[in-house]
Amino acid sequence: MQHTHRFRRTLAGLALSFTMAMSAFALDLDEAKSRGLVGETNMGYIAAVKPSAEVDALVISINSQRKVYYQDIATKNGISLQAVEARAGLKAIEKTAPGGYINTGDGWLQK
């Protein structure tokens, strides 16, 4: 009985360690931008400059969060989602640091 309990605690500890290690390696937006993996678009969302499974997952996550935020702004102000997206896109492109990637509709450019 004690061996089973120790084994379960060991498995739980390993699972927690693995989860923490994976989150330590997870790509965040700032890192992805600085590495030139993603860039800002004129539509208020990020897109993959150099696609990969990890980059694509980040893009989906960030863009879904942004869309919820943009929709909230649109609803509160009685304007269209598209208007908020376009304004957010302009702001994001303006705020992109030198060396970062932007896409104004004509393909990727390095700022």
* Whether the predicted pLDDT of 21 surpasses 70: no
Asked if the structure places residue 61 within a domain, the reply is: yes
Strand partners, 46: 40
For residues 20-35, give the mean pLDDT. 72
pTM of the shown model: 0.75
User: How many angstroms separate the CA atoms of 35 and 2, rounded?
Assistant: 49
Give the separation between CA 108 and CA 99, rounded to whole angstroms. Answer: 12
**Structural domain for 33, as ranges:** 27-110
Q: Is 31 domain-assigned? A: yes
- pLDDT per residue over 68-108, tens digit each? 999 999 999 999 999 999 999 999 999 999 999 999 999 99
Residue 10 within a domain = no
| 48 is a domain residue | yes
| 21 is a domain residue | no
Alpha carbon distance 74, 76 (integer Å): 6
Q: For residue range 30-65, what is the model confidence (pLDDT) as tens digits?
A: 999 999 999 999 999 999 999 999 999 999 999 999
Q: How many domains does the chain have?
A: 1
The confidence score (pLDDT) of residue 17 equals 39
